[in-house]
Amino acid sequence: MMENKKRILLVEDDEALGYLLSEYLKMKNFDVTWAKNGKAALLQLNQSPYDLAVLDVMMPEMDGFTLAQKINEDHSGLPFIFLTAKSLKVDVLKGFYLGAVDYLKKPIDEEELVIRIQNLLSRLTNNSKIETVIEEYKVGKYHFNSLNQELTYEDQKVKLTVKESEVLKYLVEKKNQLCSHKDILIKIWGKNDYFNKKSLNVFITRLRKYLDKDPSIKIENVHSKGYILRFDP
């Protein structure tokens, strides 16, 4: 029986690095497609499904952040990580703001990249097996479809990113309970660290904005501890 390999879309404009990572990932039993720019990556995404995308940030024609926005719009179920030399805090936070599941700084050790990818795919697969039983939620006057990542208020619909949907689902399922920063980060990001916590804060701000049409909904901040989602039945 043919082994079901995980499909990786690698987007990297550097010829030497792209070739090296592509061959190394293939050697580690991944099915890899190497796209050398953002436009080529979009063509690949329109032709084939992938389990994960690895995006370089600094590319000609279309940078990785712009490509991530396109993925959120047209391929919102696809998780992606950034691989980049841009290491300023503002760049890292922007990457997480766009919904990245990880952010790796160059120069990257190939072995570390493989381990990160394996851990991410394993966690995403396990989460999907456990959490797809309930897909529809009523959140105050909103309807939330976690499978389609859609939040609907009357006739207005918002398409959520993967991370936005995961955070909202976690809070909804623990309505009126304190959700600690640590528990949310471990569950959704897989690790509790400074950058992920900053990213979580950004997602909470965005969710508050999406939910502001119903004044009964509140995401309370419990200082230094976490968040509580409250809303009327």
DSSP string, 177-221: S-EEHHHHIIIIISS--HHHHHHHHHHHHHHHHHTTTSTT-EEEE
* Residue 1 domain flag: no
In a shared domain, residues 93 and 126: yes
CATH number, domain with residue 219? 1.10.10.10
Q: Whose structure tokens read 């230094």?
A: 224
pLDDT tens across the length of the chain (233 residues): 345 789 999 999 999 999 999 999 999 999 999 999 999 999 998 888 899 999 998 888 788 889 988 888 888 778 889 887 766 677 777 777 777 778 888 888 888 889 888 888 887 766 554 444 557 899 999 999 988 889 999 989 999 888 899 999 999 999 999 999 999 988 888 778 888 888 899 999 999 999 999 999 999 999 989 999 998 76
Is residue 19 one of the residues assigned to a domain?
yes
Do 104 and 120 reside in the same domain of the chain?
Answer: yes
Whether residue 2 is contained in a domain is answered as: no
27 and 78 together in one domain: yes
The range of the structural domain enclosing residue 117 comes to 7-130
What's the pTM? 0.60
Q: Are residues 37 and 124 in the same domain?
A: yes
Burial class (CB in 10 A: 0-12, 13-18, 19+), 93: middle
Q: How far is CA 138 from CA 72, 76, 153, 196, in A?
A: 24, 22, 10, 28
Q: Does residue 21 form part of some domain?
A: yes
Q: Tell me whether the omega of the peptide bond preceding residue 107 falls within 30 degrees of 0, making it cis.
A: yes
